[in-house]
Amino acid sequence: MIEVEISRARTFVTDQEFDSSYEKAKQAFRQVQQKDGEGAEWLGWRTLLSDPNDAILEQLDGLASAIRDDADVFIVCGIGGSYLGARAVIEALTSFFGQEGPEVLYAGHHMSGKYLAELIDYLGTPNSDGEAKSVYLNVISKSGTTLETALSFRMLRNWMADQYDELNDRIICTTSAEGGALNKLIEEHGYQKFVIPDDVGGRFSVLTPVGLLPIAVAGIDIRSLFYGAVSKYESLEKNAEQLLAYAAVKHALYEQGKAIDIFTTFEPELHGLCGWLQQLLGESEGKDHKGMFPAKATFSTDLHSLGQFIQEGTRNIMETFLCVESRNSRLKVEAQKPNHDGLNYLEGRSFHDINSRAFEGTISAHHEGGVPCIAVTMEKLNAQHLGAFIYLYELVTAVYCYCLGVNPFNQPGVEFYKKEMYQLLGKQ
Ligand SMILES: O=P(O)(O)OC[C@H]1O[C@H](O)[C@H](O)[C@@H](O)[C@@H]1O
């Protein structure tokens, strides 16, 4: 179950404003369902769920378990939608320290030579048994031409070619069915390949092999994740009231002039999920000089840096809290004598309980300070609920963007920096 609580945002919106946005959201959802809105050729992230492909889940699971048996390190080489979803789910569902199974590392998401050189040095150090590390690499690029990813892939595969006799088992490419430089490399070297469907854009691709292979290698049950999304798809097709109210209130706040939506969480393992949301919303709504800037913050940490601004700074922000209702909280506060640190008033309370009171206090203070607040609560933090969360936000994004009158599925603006950069680098 995922609860979307909008009452602390709704208080900032008149009934008339809300009703008008709600009508727009209803119409927008119809456009998604009937595939007659702008960018309708990119709605494959819904078809994936209406017509699940169990064979691909099995194939990914099989490969992932073989990799888990042999790998010390699994590198995910991609940028934007080609790594943020996997990273979000892996961070949310694995341990902060000492993960079981292969160590999952990331590359291709920037062009720091320092990072890449140090990564390669690290790969060259022995594993815990004193042997050479066994490294697997999943390069993910829909276009197959993204410079950050392609360049990192070149350096890493050259390093791997020096270490191993055979690379075909160790390198897995996830890309479009055809075209792009990556497909040329696959043809030449015979690397393993998974396909990103043409009708699924990068930021909507976490439930394709793009996200599912790394997630499975991290030991997460991809069937639960995927079918959590399928259940959410099915329930929202029957009743989308909560989702429409969410899209409507956000749209009404945008119309009032709210310019920033801060995604916040009191669970540090959800920081990556806020990053995934940033791309999903930012690239979808930020065009034609429209949209709210999706920011992210992790509390309590950022309450001690951004909290002042949120409480009393420019009133052009709204806030979306990502919460988890039930947690296994092993740590409880015990009484101590003498009570020098003055903490005995917390005796018997779990950290989850204390953290929850911090959330309640914060949302109430920010609301009182004039910030419209939405709380999205997953009953539990597991693969099934995360799958449901992912689809919920994919759909909210599409519906809300249609309310704004923008195409949710393109990103023409990203090309501008690339053009300038390529020119400076002398690319023909
Ligand atoms: O998968 P790729 O083609 O390498 O693209 C990776 C990323 O590139 C650009 O930044 C696009 O704006 C993103 O939407 C995309 O996710």
| DSSP per-residue letters across 11-31 | TTS-HHHHHHHHHHHHHHHHH
Q: Where does the pLDDT of residue 144 fall: very low under 50, low under 70, confident under 90, or very high at 90 and above?
A: very high
Nearest CA to ligand 1 atom 7: 80
Q: Where does the pLDDT of residue 190 fall: very low under 50, low under 70, confident under 90, or very high at 90 and above?
A: very high
- Residue 217 φ/ψ, nearest 5 degrees: -65, -30
| DSSP per-residue letters across 117-154 | HHHHHHHTSB-TTSSBP-EEEEEE-SSS--HHHHHHHH
CATH number for position 134:
3.40.50.10490
CA distance 372 to 385: 25
Omega before residue 300 within 30° of 0, cis: yes
Q: What is the DSSP letter of 265?
A: E
Clarify whether residues 315 and 360 are in a common domain: yes
77 three-state secondary structure: strand
Q: Where does the pLDDT of residue 228 fall: very low under 50, low under 70, confident under 90, or very high at 90 and above?
A: very high
% pLDDT > 90, the chain:
97
Q: Is residue 382 part of a domain?
A: yes
Nearest CA to ligand 1 atom 9: 80
Query: Does the reported pTM lie above 0.90?
Result: yes
CA distance 386 to 391: 9
Residue 100, pLDDT score = 87
Pocket test for ligand 1, best of 42, 79, 109 (most atoms within 8 A of CB): 79
Clarify whether residues 112 and 232 are in a common domain: no
Nearest to 111 by CA among 60, 153, 140: 153
pLDDT at residue 328 greater than cutoff 90: no
Q: How many CA atoms lie within 13 A of 374 on its CB side?
A: 24
Dihedral (C-alpha) 308, 305, 380, 96: value to the nearest 10 degrees? -170
Strands 2-5 and 373-378: antiparallel
- Ligand 1 atom closest to residue 81's alpha carbon, by position in its atom list: 16
Mean pLDDT for the stretch of residues 12-35: 98
Clarify whether residues 76 and 215 are in a common domain: yes
Nearest to 205 by CA among 263, 269, 255, 276: 276
Greatest distance between any 2 Cα atoms in the chain = 73
Pocket-forming residues, ligand 1, beta carbon under 6 Å: 79-82, 141-143, 146, 149, 202-203, 283, 411, 414
Last residue of a domain, one of 200, 220, 240: 220
Strands 135-140 and 192-195: unpaired
Mean pLDDT for the stretch of residues 351-362: 96
| Encoded tokens for 45 | 């992230």
* Cβ(294)–Cβ(237) below 8 Å: no
pLDDT at residue 153 greater than cutoff 90: yes
Which residues are known to be catalytic? 283, 418
Pocket test for ligand 1, best of 411, 416, 418 (most atoms within 8 A of CB): 411
pLDDT at residue 330 greater than cutoff 90: no
Clarify whether residues 206 and 229 are in a common domain: no
Q: What letter represents residue 151's amino acid? A: L
% pLDDT > 70, the chain:
100
Nearest CA to ligand 1 atom 14: 202
Other CB atoms within 10 A of residue 52 CB: 17
318-353: string of b/e by CB count within 10 Å (b at 16+)?
A: bbbbbbbeeeeeeeebeeeeeeeeeeeebeeebebe
Q: What is the pLDDT of residues 249-267, one digit of tens each?
A: 999 999 999 999 999 999 9
Q: What is the pLDDT of residues 359-414, one digit of tens each?
A: 999 999 999 999 999 999 999 999 999 999 999 999 999 999 999 999 999 999 99
CA distance 7 to 4: 9
Tally of structural domains, the chain: 2
Residue 214, pLDDT score = 98
Q: Is residue 427 part of a domain?
A: no
Q: Is residue 416 part of a domain?
A: no
CA distance 227 to 230: 5
Clarify whether residues 16 and 161 are in a common domain: no
- Map tokens 């209702």 to a residue: 325
Residues 6+ apart with CB under 8 A from 2: 232, 376, 377, 378, 379, 385, 388, 389, 392
Clarify whether residues 256 and 112 are in a common domain: no
Residue 385, pLDDT score = 98
* Cβ(76)–Cβ(107) below 8 Å: yes
Dihedral (C-alpha) 90, 92, 95, 97: value to the nearest 10 degrees? 90
Q: Is residue 364 part of a domain?
A: yes
The alpha carbon of 82 and the centre of ligand 1 are apart by a number of angstroms equal to 7
ipTM above 0.90, yes or no: yes
Q: What is the CA radius of gyration of the chain?
A: 23
Q: Is residue 423 part of a domain?
A: no
The alpha carbon of 143 and the centre of ligand 1 are apart by a number of angstroms equal to 7
Clarify whether residues 194 and 249 are in a common domain: no
Q: Is residue 160 part of a domain?
A: yes
Q: What is the pLDDT of residues 283-321, one digit of tens each?
A: 999 999 999 999 999 999 999 999 999 999 999 999 999
* Cβ(386)–Cβ(92) below 8 Å: yes
Which residues span the domain enclosing 17? Answer: 2-36+225-404
- Residue 310 φ/ψ, nearest 5 degrees: -60, -40
CA distance 39 to 139: 27
pLDDT at residue 64 greater than cutoff 90: yes
pLDDT at residue 34 greater than cutoff 90: yes
Q: What is the DSSP letter of 158?
A: H
Other CB atoms within 10 A of residue 130 CB: 6
Clarify whether residues 210 and 333 are in a common domain: no
Last residue of a domain, one of 220, 244, 272: 220
Residue 329, pLDDT score = 78
CA distance 105 to 77: 9
167 three-state secondary structure: coil
Residue 98, pLDDT score = 84
Pocket test for ligand 1, best of 145, 175, 285, 414 (most atoms within 8 A of CB): 414
- Map tokens 């079981």 to a residue: 100
* Cβ(151)–Cβ(141) below 8 Å: no
Clarify whether residues 127 and 259 are in a common domain: no
Neighbour-count burial of 385, counting CB atoms closer than 10 A to its CB (0-12 exposed, 13-18 middle, 19+ buried): buried
Clarify whether residues 320 and 185 are in a common domain: no
Clarify whether residues 216 and 229 are in a common domain: no
